[in-house]
């Protein structure tokens, strides 16, 4: 467990270096805080607890770290007005049930699947359909 804690704490320091260069914004929200919880009693505010991380297979852990860095760099690009045409909001992709590295083809395919399921004419939920349309419009801007 101590080894896992050490590795995850290094990820926090890494995010600070990437996003803030010499801790220029120490009170800014970190992606790390919404991703990892190292408390003995989980707070429920993070995606992964220390217990979950400690039993993960190596490949699962690598996937979590890759997703973490994708979010860190996404935040960095937003904060520094760096436009990357091929990068989509990871939180919007998650709302569609897509991974952080989804491409336009994946987004369109998933949108069609969900639109069929949520469309009111097909017996779906109108509010979910409207929410789906809003998420899709934000992604394809």
Contact present, 116 and 123 (Cβ < 8 Å) = no
How far is it, in rounded angstroms, from Cα 130 to Cα 132? 5
- Confidence (pLDDT) at 80: 83
Q: What separation in angstroms does the CA of 30 have from each of 12, 18, 25, 35, 73?
A: 8, 11, 10, 9, 12
Please, is 89 exposed, middle or buried when counting C-beta atoms within 10 Å of its C-beta (0-12, 13-18, 19+)? middle
Predicted TM-score (pTM) of this structure: 0.70
Contact 32, 12 (CB under 8 A): yes
Q: For residue 82, what pLDDT is reported?
A: 82
Q: What are phi and psi of 10, to 5 degrees?
A: -65, -35
Decide which of 3.40.50.720, 3.10.129.10, 1.10.287.110, 1.10.3720.10 is the CATH code for 90-140: 1.10.287.110
Q: In sequence order, what are the residues at sequence separation of 6 or more whose Cβ sits closer than 8 angstroms to the Cβ of residue 69? A: none
- CA gap 14, 18 in Å, rounded: 6
Q: What is the pLDDT along the chain (141 residues), one digit of tens a residue?
A: 788 889 999 999 888 888 887 656 656 788 888 889 888 777 778 888 888 898 999 999 998 999 899 888 888 888 888 866 667 888 889 889 998 888 889 999 999 999 999 999 988 889 999 999 999 998 887
Tokens of 119: 């469309």
pLDDT of 25 reads 60
Q: Where are the domains of the chain?
A: 2-79, 90-140
């Amino acid at each position: 467990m101590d080894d896992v804690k050490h590795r995850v704490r290094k990820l926090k320091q890494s995010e600070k270096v990437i996003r803030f260069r010499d801790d220029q914004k120490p009170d800014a929200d970190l992606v790390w805080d919404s991703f990892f919880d190292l408390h003995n009693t989980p707070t429920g505010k993070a995606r992964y607890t220390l217990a979950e991380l400690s039993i993960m297979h190596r490949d699962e852990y690598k996937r979590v770290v890759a997703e973490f860095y994708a979010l860190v760099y996404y935040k960095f690009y937003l904060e520094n007005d760096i436009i990357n045409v091929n990068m989509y909001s990871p939180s919007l992709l998650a709302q569609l049930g897509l991974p952080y590295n989804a491409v336009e083809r994946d987004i369109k395919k998933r949108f069609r699947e969900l639109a069929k399921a949520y469309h009111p004419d097909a017996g779906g939920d109108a509010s979910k359909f409207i929410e789906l349309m809003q998420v899709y419009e934000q992604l394809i801007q």
